[in-house]
Amino acid sequence: MSISWVTVPTPLPSGPVRLAVTDQGVAAVSYHGDAVAGLPAGLPECADEQRVALVRSRVDEYFAGNRRDLELPLDWRFATGPHRLVLETLKREVPFGKTVTYGELAARSGAFEELDEGDWAAARTVGKMMGANPLCLLVPCHRVVASDGIGGFGGGQVGVEVKRWLLTLEGVLPPTLDWSGPT
């Protein structure tokens, strides 16, 4: 199992994104250069020029506002059980430009059948799952919001600004005067 990084510059407040790629697809994404659970430290940059070119072009097109779905193959090895079920539901049911609350995603996924949509425990669990999403950006956890606002995002205040930036790019939020994205 060979895993390597593809680093792509972005206009995000957090800087470049790093995508961990395998022969099967993208296995993980990091916004802040943060460690990803399950990935060993010190992975090399990807030497497969075709794979690098594909990943970079799709990510560049998305951030330029020319692509709504990255359409990259996914390697789900770091998401299993109910976590994977919730992430697959998010990927399948919440398209570009739409959002879902933590509680709604919990209900849609069926991972919490014994709890109802309004149950705070299911919503909180989905929030934790989004925070541990190994495939952020490709499985768009930025589209999962709180019932009373934008909600959180990994990385503290910079993370919330990344979420705000992505939701603005997708037309969910109106651009502010300092918007640095495509028009």
Q: What angle in degrees, to the nearest 10, is found between the helix axes of 102-109 and 81-93?
A: 110
Task: Please say if 46 is a catalytic residue.
Answer: no
For residues 76 and 25, is the Cβ–Cβ distance under 8 A? Answer: no
Q: How far is residue 180's CA from residue 176's CA, in Å, rounded to a whole number?
A: 9
Q: Out of 3, 26, 106, 141, which one is annotated catalytic?
A: 141
Q: Which residues are catalytic?
A: 141
